Structure 1
Amino acid sequence: MENLVSKVKKLQMAVVALISLNLFFLVTSYKPKESKHEKFEEISVDRINIVDKKGVTKMVIASQDMLRKDSKDPGVSEGFTYSGMLFRNEEGEECGGLIFNGKKTKTGQSADAGLTLDQYNQDQNVVIEHNETVDRAESSIKDGLTVIQRPDYTKRRDEYKKYEEIDKLMQTTAQKDSLRTYYATQGVTSRRRLFVGIEHGVKSQKSYNEAGLFIRNKAGANAIKLYVDDNNIPHFEVYDLSGKKKVYELDLKEKK
């Protein structure tokens, strides 16, 4: 009987030891799940790329030197000076952005800021912008919403060839304007169709200040203007197809 009790005690001790050993291995082998979230108090970089699971860059945040380093847009100039954020679609093509710059110049200041929305594989066609150029002689400040009509993306490279063609013409300004109007009417170049906002400044030693709605026709010429001028006088004007001649004007001047 004593022998049986002894064996039971030994078995109990073995079970306790085995459980303890298993608990030891369980505790020591446990590793908490590694977090994929990294936290930084401060980080300094030239560019950040937001990339989806397929490896497509969907957004870029960068300084002016890096923002469009890999852009395929034929309209990007070598002197691009904007910092900010660019949005890209499912194909990795630019489709808008939030950009800005600003600096003092030898004679004044210059600044630009804008939220742009692009047509598919095209340049921006909706812009909320601030544009500012000020020097000793003249100034121009523009704040508002601009809508631009652009050709289909398949004609984009031909579009920029037309601009180069116009710039290289050894002709008068009037002849160049005529060619611009022709290409715009044919729908092969871009043209501003709508602006809602304020434009003010000094030009040829005369101040101007216009706040209102400005609509242009398919050729990019003036069609309708509804605005308040520098003297607080409201205007409603309708233009002919050339955009140079007023065919109707509502006289809202105060009668003396």
Structure 2
Amino acid sequence: MNEKLSKEVKFLKIYSFVITALLLTLFYLVLQPQTNNSLEELTVERINVVEKNGDLKLVISNSERQHNGIINGAVLPERERPAGLIFFNSFGDECGGLVYDGNENEAGMVLSVDKFRDDQVMQVQYMENTKNKKRKYGLQLWDYPQENSVEARNKRYKEIQNIQDKEAVKKAYAQMKEEGLVAENRLFLGKNFNKDVGLFINDEKGNPRIKLYIDEANTAKLEFLDEKGEPVQGGATN
């Protein structure tokens, strides 16, 4: 009996030693810093990149799970957005992004830069009507005449969506433009849908003023225009 008990005690000691050694080895491996992790392939619908404190800095997402955007700390209403990357600044606001898509009707890709606490003011863009093969691509700049107007602008856009009369909608947009709530096109450098390639500069009200381009007929042109779009005397050359 004593011999049997002695064997069992010896077995338990060995068993305890082995289990303890395995657990210590496991804890050691878990607690070691992982510096060489690598993946050959990762399939996800969305990735949120955050700072150590949890602040959102970048969203990489498909179209269905794309972030709505944040301006002045307020999440924008739900809307359809293409797949791509959305960037966020230290205030938590969206500050630009890269989105893209393409189908049987249209295709495009844009890299946008947003004004601080407002909407986009610059884009490198490519847009195409894939049915008629018309394309526009280049550098686009906008201005917002009224500073810090994003909340008022979005409120007015929401009100206009409830207007049924088309003429009333046009008047409402015209009023917004008059008040400086609408983004004004200031410059485009690239190729337009009409196949003109060049530099197109507008004034602060969005009126075309300078055009330096080559048209579809391969004719070089330089045009200076007044606020009404009429050629300035002596300011146009072909």
Interval of TM-score (by shorter of Structure 1 and Structure 2): 0.7 to 0.9
4+ residue stretches of structure 1 with deviation over 3 A?
A: 69-74, 151-154, 161-173, 178-186
State the shift of 1:188 in Å.
2.3
Supply the distance in 2 between the matched residues of 1:100 and 1:215 (Cα, whole angstroms).
Answer: 26
Q: CA RMSD, aligned part only?
A: 3.0
Q: 2:123 aligns with which of 106, 122, 127?
A: 127
Partner amino acid, structure 2, of 1:150:
Y
Cα-to-partner distance string for 1:107-158 (whole Å, 9 max, x where unaligned) = xx311101111111211111000011132xx453110000111256732121
Name the structure 2 match of 1:192.
185
Q: Percent identity?
A: 27
Q: Please tell me whether the aligned partners of residues 87 and 94 of structure 1 are also in contact (alpha carbons under 8 angstroms).
A: yes
Give distance in 2, aligned partners of 1:227 and 1:77. 40
Determine the C-alpha separation between the residues in 1 that align with 2:188 and 2:69: 31
Which one has a larger percent strand, Structure 1 or Structure 2?
Answer: 1
- After TM superposition, the structure 1 = structure 2 runs for residues 17-166 of structure 1, keeping only pairs within 5 Å, are 31=28, 33-37=31-35, 38-69=37-68, 71=70, 72=74, 74=76, 78-80=79-81, 82-104=82-104, 109-135=105-131, 138-150=132-144, 154-164=148-158
AA at the equivalent of 1:247: V
Matched residue, 2:15: none
Where 2:60 maps in the other structure, the secondary structure is strand
The answer as to whether partners of 2:49 and 2:59 remain within 8 angstroms in 1 is yes
- Code of the aligned partner of 1:193: R
TM-score, normalised via structure 1 length: 0.70
Structure 1 residues 139 and 185, CA gap change in structure 2 (3 angstroms)? farther
Alpha-carbon shift at residue 64 of structure 1 (Å): 0.5
SS at match of 1:160: helix
In structure 2, runs of 5+ residues without a counterpart are 1-20
TM-score calculated relative to the size of structure 2? 0.75
Q: State how far apart, in whole Å, the 1-side matches of 2:210 and 2:164 are.
A: 31
The unaligned stretches of length 5 or more in structure 1 are 1-24, 201-207
Q: Is the 8 A contact 1:122 1:152 kept in 2?
A: no
Q: In the alignment, is the contact (CA less than 8 A) between 1:184 and 1:220 conserved in 2? A: no
One of 176, 188, 204 as aligned partner of 1:218: 204
After superposition, the Cα gap between the structure-2 partners of 1:70 and 1:147, relative to the gap in structure 1 and judged at 3 Å, is closer
Query: What is the distance in 2 between the residues matched to 1:36 and 1:235?
Result: 62
Amino acid at match of 1:229: D
**Contact preservation (8 Å) 2:68, 2:78:** no
2:231: which partner in 1? 246
Greater Cα offset, 82-91 or 148-157: 148-157
The one-character-per-residue Cα deviations of 1:164-202 (angstroms, maximum 9, x if unpaired) are 5666373659x93x76566435422211111100013xx
Contact 1:192 1:216 survives alignment (8 Å):
yes
Q: Number of paired residues? A: 208
Say if 2:98 and 2:112, in contact at 8 Å, map to a contact too: yes
Q: Distance in 2 between matches of 1:77 and 1:193?
A: 29
